[in-house]
Structure 1
């Protein structure tokens, strides 16, 4: 359960305890992928998890597509403007965008 869902259960007298059960460790981006990333015209984020690590090495001219407002907010916080924000927070909508671009 996440913090956003907790009030629903608390309102129904459930005792809630939020525990972080996972952690994420980022590996260094290998040089070849780093060069490809910097040469890319588009970056597609289907999760906000890798936004910071990726945009720290991206070039400002890169167009960015995201799923959801939270990912868009994180992109903006790092000084980039999303070119596309999916109105439906699913990967399916993102795949449709890719088909229209390419």
Structure 2
């Protein structure tokens, strides 16, 4: 079986002025991590899926769990497109090095 890996890149901007808003932010961030998302930058997370259909189905679930305030944007990219991301300032994070090294050696 051939997999056409797709990634969801999720960008979010949530208010953090009050204690309640900060709690909502933390809970949403925990939700993303518990559901397999990896932080790329502050408020930018990504997750890999085996195909586009699985990613689209996940977006439906995700929509039910987003906070009422703030903005969330989702972008779908193929694994080929994602692999061409260039990190201009600094190097790869430790988390990226581990994922890159371990993810595809097992396939």
TM-score clears 0.5: no
Length-normalised TM-score, structure 2: 0.26
Larger radius of gyration: 1
Bigger strand share: 2
Report 1 or 2 for greater relative contact order, CA contacts < 8 Å, sequence distance ≥ 6: 2
